[in-house]
Each structure stands twice: as C-alpha cells, then as structure tokens.
Amino acid sequence: MTVLRWLDRPGEEGVTWGVPWPRGAVERDAPFALADADGREVPVQSWVTATWPDGSVKWSAHAIGARPATLAYRLEPGREPAAAERVATVAREDGLLRVSTGVVTWVIEESGNTLARSISRGSREIARDVRLVSLRQSEPTPDEGGGVPREQTTGTVESVTVEQDGPLRAVVRLEGRHGDWLPFTVRLYFYAGAEHVRIMHTFVWDGDPERDFLAGLGLRADVVMRDELHDRHVRLAGDGGFLTEAVRGLTGLRLDPGESARRNQVEGRPAGELDPAVASRLHLIPAWNDHTLDQGSADGFTLRKRTAEGHSWVTIPAGTRSTGYGYVGGVSGGLGFGLRDFWRLHPTRLDVRNAATDLATATIWLWSPSAPAMDLRFYHDGMGQDTFAEQLEGLEVTYEDYEPGFGDAHGVARTHELTLRACAATPAAAALAAHAAAMNEPALLAAAPERVREAGVFGVWELPDRSTPAHAAIEDRLDFLFDLYVREREQRRWYGFWDYGDVMHTYDQDRHTWRYDIGGYAWDNSELSPDLWLWLQYLRTGRADVFRFAEAMTRHTGEVDVYHLGRWKGLGTRHNVQHWGCSCKQLRISNAAYRRFYHYLTADERTGDLMDELSRPEETFVVIDPTRKVREDVYTPDPSALSVGLGTDWGSLAAAWLTRWERHGDERARDRLLGTMADIGALPRGFLTGEGRLDLESGRFDTSRDQISVSHLSSLFGLPEMCAELIGLGLDVPGFERAWLDYCRLYLATPEQQEAEVGRPLSGISLIQAHSRLTAYAAARTGDAELAAWAWRKFTYDEGDQLNKNALQRQRDWHLTLVDGPGVLHPVHEAPFVSTNGAAQYGLAAIHNLALIGKHLAER
C-alpha cells in the first residue's frame, strides 16, 4: 500500500501520476485500488510503465477523473478498483472521433485542417474548428520595422491515434504539418467529469534558416456567441487577477443602467433589467469586438482593444507577467483558453476577435505575431574556421566547438502545454484564477521520498541527513546551490521561447553576468548532468520547487537541445551561445537517463516519445564520430567496428537500452545491454580501455582491444548513476562489476598505486571532487573504510576544482555578494565561484557520498 499526497496544490480536474514498486512486490497483471484519506473507494485507471528484469512491476501509472480533492490517497495493488459513475469514452463513427468526459464532448476529424470540429457541453455547442495557425516570412523582420509579406497557414492533421480510451483518462494523438513545414504532434487529454481538455503541442523545426522565418504560431478556436452584447464577456489574465471586460460595457456611463446591472455584468452574470434611459440607447454604446494581450518579454505585457478592424486600437493599462489565461463567451457559456508558462515562454499573445459577432475567435499565440519573426540563423560567420586545426584554436579561446554547417537548428523541437475549457457560463473571478493556477501548476500526486527509496529505483541516493554538523553543512550547500539557480533564473531572466528551462554554463566575474555571449560558456545544454542532480535532489527531498525546476529543464533539454529529425536525429548538441550551435553532436545530451525521472513520475507520453526516439541509439555512431576532431589515429565510422567511448557514449547507450527494455520488454535492447556489459567485463583493461569497437549488427564489442585511455568526462554524464543502477539490478553479468570497481578505485588512486596495478600512472585525471563518488562507490561495495576516508578527503579538500578551491576556508565563504551601481544592468546577488559544471557535480558527488559512505564522514 502506498500513501500519495499532492506535490504542491490539490487537483480536482483529473490527474495522472506514477508510483515505483520494489522488485517482486507487484505482479505484471495486478489490479490497483484507490481510496481517499477517509477510506472511501475512488475509481482509478492504472497501467504499467516499467518492469523489473523478473517481470514484476517497477513503475505503474494511475489516473483519476475530476472529483473533489482530498488531502491524501492510498493506492493498493492486488485489489480491483471501484467502478466509475462518470467515465471518459471514445467512439469512432463516420470518420469522426467523439470523445466525451461526461461533461464535454469533442468531435475530432481523422484528417483535415482541424484538431476538433466542435466542442460541446451537454447539447450546447461552445466552440468549433479548433485549429493550428502559423505565419511565415521569407526574410527577417527589418531592424527598423517595416512591412514584410507573411504567409498564413492552417495546420493539417494527417493521422489520429487513440492512445487511451478510458474509463477515466482518454488520450488522442494527432500528427500533421503546418502546411509544407513544421511537423507537429498534438495530444489531447480528457478526464472523466472534467470540463477542460489539456493539450500538448510539439513542433519540430525543419525550415531553412536563410529563408524561413516563423512570424507566428498559434492555436485558434471559434466560439459560438449567443447572448446580448452586454451579456458577453472577455477576461484576460494579468499578474494575478483578470482584465474584466464586457463586449458592450454598462459601467462608467453618464446614465446609470442600475446598480444590479453594473454589478452583475462585472461579475459575469446576466445584467438583468436595465434602466429604460440606458436600454433605449444601447445602440449608442460602443461594442468592443477585439482584444489583445501581448507578452513581449518576461517583464511586461500590453493590452489593447478596438471596436472593429479598420479602426484604431485603444490602449488598456498594462502589467508585467500575465498568467496566460483568457475567456470569451457570455452568460450562456463560452471558452476558457490558455498557455502554461505564458510569460516564461515569451513572446506570446492572447487574442479575442469578433466578440460582437455570432462567432468570436480566440487565439493562443505560442510565438506572438507582434514580435520580430523567429530568426534561427547562426550567430557568426565562422571567422575563417574552415579546418579542424583552426576550429580547435577557436575552442582554446572561446570554448566553442565550431564547424561549418553544424550550427543548424533543423530538427530541434519545442513542446507547449495549453488548455481549452468549455464553460457553462462566464466564470467568476475566483474560478478563473483557479483555472489559471491549475494550468500553470498541474496537480500531481506523489509518493513520499521514503516510499520511493524503499522501491529501490534510480540507483544511489538517500534521504537528507542532518544528524551531525558535517552532514548538515553538506545539506546546506545542496540547498544553497539549488536556491542559487532559482535566483539566477529570475535575476538573469533565463526565459523565452527557446531558452526557458535551461541554465547558463559559466560565470563572468568581470562583467558580473554569465558568459551568455562566449562560445561554449553560454547555455549549458545538460553539460555535466545538472538534470541528474536536480532529479536526485527532488527524489530525496520531495520539494515541489525542485520538481518544477527539473520539470522545466527536462522539457527544454529533451526538445530544444536534441535533434528529432534530419541527419543528427537522436543526437544532442553540446553547450553554446545557441542551443544548437555547437558542432559536437552526441548521445550524452539526448541521454535517456535525463528523461526517465519525469516520465516515470508523471507518465508523460511526450517524454516517452523522446526516449522512444532512442530505440536504436547505437546507429547514431555511423552518422558522426563524436571525437573526430581530436583523434590521433585514422578512423572512419565502420558499422563493423564503430568507435564508442566507454564513458559518455556507452553510459548513454546503456540508459537508452535499459529504458527500452524496462518500458517495452525489448529483447534486442536487453541483449545489447547485457552483451556490451559482458564485453566490458571481458576487456583486458575494462573501463580503463576508454574506447571500444562495436559491431552494429551483433551489438557486441571487440574484446581483444588492450589499451589504457582515461578521460575526465567519461563519468560525468550519468555513467556512475547508470552503472550503480545496473549492478543493483543483479543481472549477473560476468566481469562487469569488477571492471567498474577497478575504474572507481583507480581513478583517484595515488600514481604509485595506479602504476602498481596497470603499469603506469593514469593521465587525464581531473575534476577530483566530482570523481570522489566513484571512490565512495568502490568503498561501499567492498566495505573498505580507508577507501571511504580517501573519498571524503577528495570530496572535501583543495584538489583543483572550482567549488573545492580553498575548501576549508570556503566552509565559511559560501555566500552571495550584492553587486549594484552603474556598472551592472540591475542589482544582483552573485556567487562568482559557482559554475554549472561545479554545481551539478558537487550535487551529485554529495548525494552519492552521503548515501554510500555517510557513516564515514568525520567532523572537521
């Protein structure tokens, strides 16, 4: 039995969540029952998202429909769920899908130019022709403005798939294209008893950056308007409340329509009887046909309205950060519409058009037509770097790994979460605020960290431990680092359509800002695994703010930093000024290890898609050699002998294969995982070999390779986490654990010990603090107390790492410094000694070491 509580806010509109189970505890076909805190049975829909090697359930997913929230639930395997009184249904007839929640019904065409032909509530049609729209220019928006012709296109649906059909949750996937470009995937989520539908829109960029400039991208619906103009309402969200407008306003007139009429109109109710002096002059009161809220930046939105096209706009007082929700309709019903993270994903816009006619139109713009057209051209001309030698020189000075033609966005993607709500009447202000909050922080049920830890998932971590001053000091630093990045995201405005969810790589102490404009020092793109650090910190603390930060990073890094079509499909891009700018395209960025957490905790289908894109990850090594620029040998990718690094490369392959196996029972993935594990164990030097040669057809390494090659990066993209998880599975692969323990013992061993065991000291040793967790793992597995003490020494003392420099003094020096005055853009609190490499690896080393050898941590 598992107790579930809300992550941050209770939900009443349907929710989906994931739960882990200890190996062997739950059989594959076991049912699940749910009860509320008072023991009342709650209908629940359940399915399995991952299994253990023995076939038992590792992760299950569950959904409940709309219902009054309770503080906690109890989930019990082995019992049949309660029958649902209200269900979600999917019916197919005459080329149409009719999907009903019991409150609203969507009619979906199996192909065509709409996502939904109509939305009804009961017998009343609320909206029709829900569709995707886009605007394209053939040249960028001129610096000084001016007209550029724009082509408007409506998205075409090419296929419709029912992924779930109830009883409490239905999911419909639609795929198509925005005209002749921009392939999209849209998922519609329906919950029994709900009046809203959650929409996930993903598009993949496939334009030519020199001639294709996206000038607008949106979701549009027509709304049926039946009421008198003064009983029609427009609501647009501001910083917390809402712009409260009527199509024909009754307040503020020279003649008073009556107090009740004014109050009713503001509150969204029928105005009722009007004073005859006003009722006879209604035709003289302007009808406001069109409204727009434009979020041009993270710091400001503007509002305007007009009576009709061809007449001037009237400015409405503006604000800072809109919550991105709106409503258009009347007292007999209307449509709520919105975009999650609206201001964070700027430039965005909400439009209402034709509200004074029989058919209003609401548009949620994911890219606002008011902004300059999206420009994805590379940010410099190459500066003469035409050869590998010149490019390596550039790497030396700006840390940018440039190569002509490789800074291409073709194939990157972005996902947005939207909502449409069929309302029976104009919602009250408090209800609108609740709708906006539910959209921006979707409710999630979660098991407590203690319960997740008992399940034994995700390798090495334990709950926070403040039992001694030394333990508490490390926990304080973990909190300091997370809080720093939350603060930095806000101070530095790490927001925007392509940027939100990522963090910067390295700080510039001279300019008191991050190196946003310097080669490989700018956007981080998962470098050195901040994703892993954040997710492990969430698992051990259960903190909602950590979850939301990690969630945004997963959404970004899995979409924007990875190619989803084209020549680099399945690969991600190393850190750069532009997310796609670096010529280093590797699996270490598209790494399934970074996505698994979110998928299993939420059952999110889009994240599942990202991992499914890696069903054959080894084939990417035919396309491009990750180390082509620094090779000393002569090598061309050979399908029978592909060069695969045993660190960043194999760790990413193993994550993809394991995930494929546990999610889908994929025997090919299983065999390649187990086979390469055995091959690493059979190599004369094990992981110290550094590089293996993989036969693509057999999926096996050549085990005769005998060399020693160590890279400081090998273990910093999820390899320790993945090896610990694989060994913890008890797969009984001969030689693998020994090979990993040898690597863990020797990486930070003394040169004398290294020479004694392998014939020479190891070169390429750095990032000492980060690698202390390898020593800690070996100490924990072997029970070696002296090795544990050595790991803590390497974690604690100055060995050359930025966060570890002068470590004893820094025990007192981890603090923020205020920088203000005319030399900075605005006052900031900075921690110039922190880089994301150091923060992520400090976090991972601290979490591992506390879990593995915490009892050996001595007071200083």
Nearest CA to 734 out of 679, 672, 653, 655 is that of 679
Residues 379-402: what's their mean pLDDT? 96
| pLDDT for the residue 247 | 98
Q: Strand 57-66 vs strand 445-447: parallel, antiparallel, or unpaired?
A: unpaired
pLDDT of 144 over the 60 cut: yes
pLDDT of 813 over the 80 cut: no
pLDDT tens digit sequence for 47-88 = 999 999 999 999 999 999 999 989 999 999 999 999 999 999
| pLDDT for the residue 806 | 47
At 656, list the tokens.
């993809």
Residues 191 and 79 in one domain: no
d(CA 339, CA 765): 47
Residues 291 and 192 in one domain: yes
d(CA 313, CA 795): 62
- The gap from C-alpha 656 to its chain's centroid, in whole angstroms, comes to 18
pLDDT band (50, 70, 90) for residue 707? very high
Least confident range of 132-141, 304-313, 620-629, 712-721: 620-629
End-of-domain residue from the set 388, 423, 457: 457
Residues 352 and 398 in one domain: no
638 lies in a domain? Answer: no
Look over the chain and give the mean of its residue pLDDT values, rounded to a whole number.
96
Residues 245-272: what's their mean pLDDT? 97
Q: What are phi and psi for residue 513, nearest 5 degrees? A: -150, 170
* The model scores a pTM over 0.75: yes
Burial of 475 (0-12, 13-18, 19+ CB in 10 A): middle
681 lies in a domain? Answer: no
Cα–Cα–Cα angle for 710, 385, 498, rounded to 5 degrees: 80
Which domain covers residue 233, as residue numbers?
A: 130-271+285-376+415-440
Residue 818 pairs with which residues in a beta bridge? 829
| pLDDT for the residue 571 | 98
Residues 404 and 369 in one domain: no
pLDDT tens digit sequence for 727-773 = 999 998 999 999 999 999 999 999 999 999 999 999 989 999 999 99
Residues 29 and 77 in one domain: yes
| pLDDT for the residue 196 | 98
Contact between 236 and 401 (Cβ < 8 Å):
no
Distant-in-sequence, close-in-space partners of 407: CB < 8 Å, separation ≥ 6:
378, 379, 576, 578, 580, 581, 582, 583
d(CA 762, CA 649): 20
Question: What CATH number corresponds to the domain at position 320?
Answer: 2.70.98
Residues 367 and 320 in one domain: yes
574 lies in a domain? Answer: yes
Q: How many domains does the chain have?
A: 3
pLDDT tens digit sequence for 776-809 = 999 999 999 999 999 999 998 866 665 765 444 4
pLDDT of 658 over the 50 cut: yes
| pLDDT for the residue 808 | 44
| pLDDT for the residue 812 | 56
| Structure-model confidence comparison of residues 807 and 340, the more confident one | 340
DSSP letter for 282, please.
G
576 lies in a domain? Answer: yes
| pLDDT for the residue 809 | 47
At 105, list the tokens.
């019904």
d(CA 291, CA 256): 25
730 lies in a domain? Answer: no
Residues 162 and 214 in one domain: yes
DSSP letter for 12, please.
S
d(CA 56, CA 635): 44
Contact between 361 and 461 (Cβ < 8 Å):
no
pLDDT of 826 over the 80 cut: yes
At 11, list the tokens.
């939900």
Distant-in-sequence, close-in-space partners of 793: CB < 8 Å, separation ≥ 6:
none
Contact between 34 and 41 (Cβ < 8 Å):
yes
Question: Over pLDDT 90: what percentage of the chain?
Answer: 94
pLDDT of 811 over the 60 cut: no
Distant-in-sequence, close-in-space partners of 801: CB < 8 Å, separation ≥ 6:
767, 768, 769, 770, 838
pLDDT tens digit sequence for 456-476 = 999 999 999 999 999 999 999
Residue 677 falls in which region: left (phi positive, over 0), alpha (psi -120 to 50) or beta: alpha
d(CA 341, CA 362): 18
Contact between 631 and 637 (Cβ < 8 Å):
no
| pLDDT for the residue 800 | 63
pLDDT of 387 over the 70 cut: yes
Residues 135 and 67 in one domain: no
End-of-domain residue from the set 614, 637, 659: 614
Residues 325-339: what's their mean pLDDT? 98
d(CA 83, CA 176): 37
pLDDT band (50, 70, 90) for residue 524? very high
392 lies in a domain? Answer: yes
Residues 430 and 324 in one domain: yes
Residues 290 and 401 in one domain: no
815 lies in a domain? Answer: no
Name residue 600's amino acid: Y
Residues 358 and 431 in one domain: yes
Cα–Cα–Cα angle for 748, 843, 580, rounded to 5 degrees: 100
Residues 426 and 569 in one domain: no
Burial of 430 (0-12, 13-18, 19+ CB in 10 A): exposed
Name residue 787's amino acid: L
742 lies in a domain? Answer: no
